[in-house]
Amino acid sequence: MTTVIEVREVSKQFKIHHERHQSLKERVLHPRSGSTELFNALRDVSFDVGAGETVGIVGHNGSGKSTLLKCICGVLKPSTGQIRLRGSLAALLELGAGFQPELSGRDNVYLYGAMLGLSRRTVDAVFDEIVEFSEIAPFIDTQVKFYSSGMYVRLAFAVAVNVDPDILVVDEVLAVGDERFQAKCVDRIQRFQREGRTILLVTHNADQVRALCDRAIVLDGGDLVADGPTHESLRVFRERLLDEAAEHDPEKLLGTIQIDSVTTPSGSFEVRNGAGVHLDVVVSSQGAFSGNFVVEVFTRGGLLVSRSDAQGAPVNLVPGANRVAVDLPALPLLDGVYDVNLGVVDTHGHTVVAWREGAASLQVIYDGREGGIVALGTAVTQL
């Protein structure tokens, strides 16, 4: 496999001005004052991405993921280290940033194309597709300043994905547009995957990463803390989030509650033909706590099969070891391995106080010949 992105020991420091002296007079009067502080947005980050891979970059706000992405796109220059790229790159960073409000949509498509490094002829060839994808054909000759924000973003997205990039970099943009357009975007990204293009997806939406990526990289405070298969990286990500939350936790609840073990009465996690499963969960708590239990079931492909209602399963934990029974009375699932995540949240369902990613892996065995995830028991009768 060809390596298309090589990130080598990339660090990025920002100067933070506490008091800005940007006029000449101020600079002359206060040559040394106006203290600046160096902020490390990225520290010695290295990884490779091969052709055709879809890699998710996750991290909470301020973890450096956007900085990393901007470095890869060349918007920012790393302070040290280097990034080597092979093939053309299109970035869906802050869509429409290159648009000139005074120009028409048509002119902007060409200008934006030129910014992405495309010749006029290349844009000519895909112009109709761009307009069609963006669904703004009647307004293509209207000045962009009259566009709604949705039209703006759709046009920018349409240009970026129709220019045949080898590498597509996507930053949180799937959160824009209406649901139908979002689905269209995800669809296009999946088509890119099938076409063997390389995709970098930056988000803090774990579900999206699970659904689209084979591999995920976790950044925390500018450090690369995990790089591996999606479900393993996401486990690290969730743990980091909990650690992070623990530091800002007024009631000092976090870290006091832990999910210690998950077992079944028989010791086996095999599920046969729609039977249910009973999980014995041991939760240790340092204090009394009332909250709710959350259960998630995922396919290995990252599709969320079910997430229980965070407020539907109250538990009252006492200090010491607590036993909680989790019953999944019927699992009408088809053949495959399903991962179960367990968590404890507060009564409002806002704060996760304990989480166990991959608490159990269910081996589902189904004898029927249906395909998919759910056994619907479809019956066809000729009358």
Which spans of this chain sit near another protein (rule: CB under 8 A)?
Answer: 1-2, 4, 14-17, 22-25, 27, 51-52, 71-88, 91, 93-94, 97-98, 100, 102-103, 107, 110-111, 114-115, 117, 119-120, 166, 191, 194-197
Strand partners, 360: 340
CA–CA dist 345, 311 (Å, integer):
9
How far is it, in rounded angstroms, from Cα 307 to Cα 195?
32
Q: Which long-range contacts (CB under 8 A, 24 or more apart) does 72-77 make?
A: 72/5, 72/7, 72/169, 72/200, 73/169, 76/12
Q: Rounded distance, CA 227 to CA 208, Å?
A: 17
SS (H, E, C) 322-370: EEEEEEECCCCECCEEEEEEEEEEECCCCCEEEEEEEEEEEEEECCCCC
C-beta of 95: minimal distance to another protein in Å? 10
Report the sign of the C-alpha dihedral through residues 206, 9, 86, 2, in that order.
negative
Nearest distance from residue 162's CB to another protein, in Å? 15
Minimum separation from the CB atom of position 13 to another protein (A): 9
Nearer to another protein, 127 or 366 (CB): 127
Q: How far is the CB of 243 from another protein (least distance, A)?
A: 29
| Residue among 119 and 149 whose Cβ is closer to another protein | 119
Please, which residue, 196 or 319, has the CB nearer to another protein? 196
- Closer to another protein at the Cβ: 93 or 354? 93
Identity of residue 160: A
Give me the least distance between CB of 306 and another protein, in Å please.
32
Please state the closest distance from residue 56 (CB atom) to another protein, in A.
Answer: 21
CB 38, min distance to another protein, A: 10
The CB-of-106 to another protein minimum distance in angstroms stands at 12
Cα separation, 116 vs 197, in Å, equals 17
The CA distance from 67 to 193, in Å, is 24
Give every CB contact of residue 244 below 8 A, 6+ residues apart in sequence. Answer: 60, 220
Secondary structure element (H or E) that encloses residue 157, with its range: helix 149-162
Contact 366, 334 (CB under 8 A): yes
Name the residue nearer to another protein (CB basis): 198 or 292.
Answer: 198
What Rg do the C-alpha atoms of the chain give, in angstroms?
Answer: 25
One-letter identity of residue 182:
Q
Tokens describing residue 93: 């960073």
* Triad 71, 77, 81: Cα angle to 5°: 85
User: Where does residue 164 rank: exposed (0-12), middle (13-18), buried (19+ CB within 10 A)?
Assistant: middle
Identify which of residues 123 and 340 has a Cβ nearer to another protein in the complex: 123
User: Shortest Cβ distance from residue 351 to another protein (Å)?
Assistant: 34
Q: How far is the CB of 229 from another protein (least distance, A)?
A: 21
* Cβ-based nearer residue to another protein, 57 or 352: 57
Q: Given the complex with another protein, which of 100 and 347 has the nearer CB atom?
A: 100
Question: Please, which residue, 111 or 246, has the CB nearer to another protein?
Answer: 111
Q: Which is nearer to another protein, 82 or 363 (CB)?
A: 82
The DSSP letter of residue 231 is H
Angle at 332 between CA 331 and CA 335, to 5 degrees: 95
